Structure 1
Amino acid sequence: MGEYQETAADYQLDDQIGFILRLASQRHVSIFQNLSPGGLTPTQFATLIRVVEMGECSQNHLGRMVSMDVATIKGVVDRLKKKGLVRLAPDLNDKRRTTITPSDTAKQMVGELHELGLRISEETMQPLTAKERATLMRLLRKII
């Protein structure tokens, strides 16, 4: 457990990693919603970016690439399809699988989405110095 140890008597909710991560996430989502690109949710945004990066993928693989379970990714993909941002087709080699590709609209807007993503990240981490930002990202990557 290392140097950081607490006893039950020392427990303070405000000092717990899960609570602090949730508060940071809520702040980030609030910023995202204020700058929201075309009504996309954070999960739709991440999914769309991944689809454009990969070009074509199965729905299951996409779910793994954005850390979503099968039911969640299906709903997200369905909503992106309704917005005209992805196309779905049966896999030619395996009819049980669905292949997802970005629409031309998605490909055209990806540059704008990247800029917006950077702006959202900048706003989220605005209270931190450049060194603190790098440290935070390094430490978060270490625990995932």
Structure 2
Amino acid sequence: MTNRNDPYVLDEQVGFLLRLASQRHMALFMERTGASLTPTQFSTLYRLREASEPVSQNALGRMVGMDAATTKGVVARLLSRDLIRVEKDNEDRRRYTLFITDIGRQLLDTVLPAMHDISEATLEPLTPLERDQFLRLLKRLI
């Protein structure tokens, strides 16, 4: 733990280190998926595919950890590529629900093998025990 009286060292700050680790992961993601999806688009499609019931745009944003503006943009881009579709909710006509399309499912099936490789490559510098600890600690932070 750093003391407030110690000099500030950027290379030892959690936010700085998390950003660098995230940039490394993003570079691996873009390289290995051919940039067919962004990580947020992938997570969005994945959550829609695993949903057992219709999902509203608001709920989808919460499931992926996005704010309303980001969710709206991601949904618009996925809709424009026919990867998802939107329907009026049968019970609440003011609400719209989102569904993954067959094209979206096919794209997910195409990139899923790379997703395992990306996670493996991101964690490659760590031992198996360190990987488990790191993931467990990250989950505690969120």
TM-score after normalising by structure 1: 0.90
Q: What is the aligned-residue RMSD (CA, Å)? A: 1.6
**Structure-2 residue corresponding to 1:40:** 37
Could you tell me which residue of structure 2 aligns to residue 68 of structure 1? Answer: 66
- Cα–Cα, structure 1 residues 53 and 119, in superposed 2: closer, same or farther, change >3 Å? same
SS in 2 for 1:88: strand
Aligned mates of 2:95, 2:5 — CA distance in 1: 49
Residue 58 (1) aligns with residue 56 (2): yes
**Aligned-pair distance for 1:112?**
3.2
Provide closer, same or farther for how the CA distance between residues 142 and 125 of structure 1 changes in structure 2, counting only shifts above 3 A. same
Correspondences of 1:66-105 after superposition (within 5 Å): 66-105=64-103
**Is the 1:63–1:69 contact (alpha carbons within 8 Å) kept by the matching residues of 2?**
yes
Equivalent residues of 1:37, 1:113 under 8 A apart:
no
The offset of 1:143, in angstroms, is 1.2
Is residue 31–residue 123 contact of structure 1 (8 Å, CA) maintained in 2? yes
Greater shift in the superposed pair: 77-86 or 57-66: 77-86
Task: Please state if 1:12 is matched with 2:12.
Answer: no
Query: Secondary structure of 2:40's match?
Result: helix
Q: Secondary structure at the match of 1:9?
A: coil
Match of 1:87, SS state, is: strand
Aligned to 1:133: 131
Aligned partner of residue 114 in structure 2, secondary structure: helix
Instruction: Report the Cα distance in structure 1 between the residues aligned to 2:126 and 2:96, rounded to whole angstroms.
Output: 42
CA 1:51–1:116: 2 relative to 1, 3 Å? same
Alpha-carbon spacing, 1:98–1:37, altered in 2? closer, same or farther (3 Å): farther
State the aligned residue count: 141
Q: Specify the SS of the correspondent of 2:86.
A: strand
Deviation at 1:114, TM superposition (A): 2.6
Give me the TM-score of the superposition, normalised by structure 2.
0.91
Q: In 2, are the aligned partners of 1:52 and 1:110 still within 8 Å (CA)?
A: no
Deviating more after overlay: 7-16 vs 72-81:
7-16
Residue 8 of structure 1 deviates from its aligned partner by: 4.1
Contact 2:89 2:96 in 1 (8 A): yes
The answer to whether the 8 A contact 2:33-2:111 is kept is: no
